[in-house]
Amino acid sequence: MIKCHLSKLMGEKKLKIVDVARETGVNRGTITRLYHETASRVELETIDALCRYLKCEVGELFEFVD
């Protein structure tokens, strides 16, 4: 299972979903699904935009949980 740490990263930086959507150009619904860990797939462009914006590595955003 893949766990998404977007909510944790956003909380640490006190960011709102709407702000991240506006700044990254990623659809608000996509960010909401990642935030609540209900997304079933994610485009590489989305991962790239989020990592650049949050200044983090992919491994900080996503984690494989056995």
Helix (H) or strand (E) holding 29: helix 28-35
pLDDT for 14-51, tens place per residue?
999 999 999 999 999 999 999 999 999 999 999 999 99
pLDDT reported for residue 41: 96
Q: Give bridge partners of residue 57 from the DSSP assignment.
A: none
| Angstrom distance (rounded) from CA 59 to CA 21 | 21
pLDDT reported for residue 39: 96
CB atoms within 10 A of CB 55: 9
pLDDT reported for residue 5: 98
Asked if 24 and 15 count as a contact pair (C-beta separation under 8 A), the reply is no
pLDDT reported for residue 59: 97
